[in-house]
Amino acid sequence: MTLAQYEQISNYAVASATVILGLAFIAYVAQWGFARNVAPDHALVEAGGSTSKPAGPAEEADRSDVAGGIGLSLTGLAWLVLLAGVIARGLSAQRVPWGNMYEFGCAGILVVLSAYLVLVRVWGIDWVGPIITGFGMVVLGLSALVWVPPGPLVPALHSYWLVIHVLGAMIAGSAFLVGAAASILFLLKSRAERITPVDEQVGFLWRIPPSAVIDKVAYRVHAFAFPIWTFAALIAGPIWAQYAWGKYWGWDPKEVWAFITWVVYACYLHARATAGWKGRNAAIIALIGFGCFLFNFIGVNLFIPGLHSYAK
């Protein structure tokens, strides 16, 4: 196959993956919507022969489950198609497929979906599905706006430290995203647990695990991501910079925001161990951390000039 054919395959695959992920998102939203009137354990409602809520909720619960299943399957399909797209991109550019912003977007979302699918198997976290698929769809869609034809890299990017640095950042970022999604659901769920009377506990929020479990998931993914981020941003990045610019740390805007992200996540880990800060405040700090990560990925590339902005 020629390089141009690979390029074409890659473009089609990424576009299809975006659409499939959009459908997955819709299925997940439907899962949420169908569960509007469903109590946490619909078996109880039936057993009590509840007259106020006739057969409806049980059926709705089933429908919600089916929608969730479809969402998960579509996410798996999107992963497969996107994998093909990213590999074809690498083949057509004849290098690792993460050398500019478009490619970061595609490869990044591929890693996000991989992380999500693995974690669904391990910890059953399909409840973050709506956030993950929605986010993935938006990022893939926006990546299309910064599409560039595949091609070799400028000399400063010729380094295997780039491969390691970017891969590390993408893995950490994916875990940060899962952590942020869990933190959002933690905030919603813990608030709901505080203010909702028992007989009004219906809807999707009551079909996901209790806030304590969500909090634990959030902590675990952050605890996984933080050392990787430390490695990618504070070891691999500086080593590469030392080779490329003779300066392992130059307070370039990209470096500044990588550092800020790191400090904010260190704050999160501290907050979890500080009385009065764990729970709500810690979750908010985790979300701020993810905001910094995103700003570094998008905002700094587009709005702030610096050595890194040529990686657009």
Partner 1 sequence: MTNAVPALGQREFTRWFWRQLTSMRTALFLLLLLAITAVPGSLYPQRSVDPRNVEAYFIEHPKSAPVLDKLGFFSVYTSPWFSAVYLLLLVSLVGCILPRSFVYLRALRARPPKAPKNFSRLPASASFETEASVDDVLKAGRRTLGRARVDTVTEGDVGELRAEKGFLREAGNLVFHISVVVVLLGVAFGTLFGYRGTAIVAEGQGFSNTLAQYDDFGSGSLFNTDKLPPFSMTLDKFTARFQLTGPQRGAPRAFEATGRYTPTPSSAERPFDITVNHPLKINGTSVYLVGQGYAPVIKVTDAQGHVAFDDAVPFLPTDPSYTSTGVVKVPDAKPEQLGFQGFFLPTAVAGKDGVAISAFPAAANPHLGLFVWHGDLGLDTGLSQSVYVLDKAKMKQYMGSDGKGFPVSLNEGQTQKLPGGGTIQYVKTLQFVRFQFSSSPLVKVPLFGVAAGVLGLILSLSIKPRRTWIRARREGSRTVVEVAVLDRVPRDDLPADLDDFLQRFRESLGETQETTQ
Residues contributing to the site for partner 1 (CB under 8 A): 148-149, 151-152, 154-156, 158-159, 212, 216, 219, 223-224, 226-227, 230-231, 234-235, 238-240, 242-253, 256-257, 259-260, 263-264, 266-267, 269-274, 276-278, 292, 300, 304-306
Return d(Cα 239, Cα 248) in angstroms, integer. 6
**Closest among 216, 181, 139, 210 to 287, alpha carbons compared:** 181
**Cβ distance 132 to 111 under 8 Å?**
no
- CB-nearer residue toward partner 1: 34 or 268: 268
Return d(Cα 7, Cα 76) in angstroms, integer. 23
- CB-nearer residue toward partner 1: 138 or 234: 234
Return d(Cα 113, Cα 109) in angstroms, integer. 6
CB of 252 to ligand HEM, least distance (A): 21
- CB-nearer residue toward partner 1: 109 or 294: 294
Return the residues of window 272-291 that contact ligand HEM according to CB under 6 A: 273
Question: Residue 235 interacts with ligand HEM (CB under 6 A)?
Answer: no
Which residue of the chain is nearest ligand HEM when measured via CB? 273
List 36, 158, 247, 270, residue binding ligand HEM (CB under 6 A): 270
**Cβ distance 157 to 99 under 8 Å?**
yes
- CB-nearer residue toward partner 1: 79 or 226: 226
Biggest CA-to-CA distance, the chain:
75
**Closest among 74, 49, 75, 43 to 61, alpha carbons compared:** 43
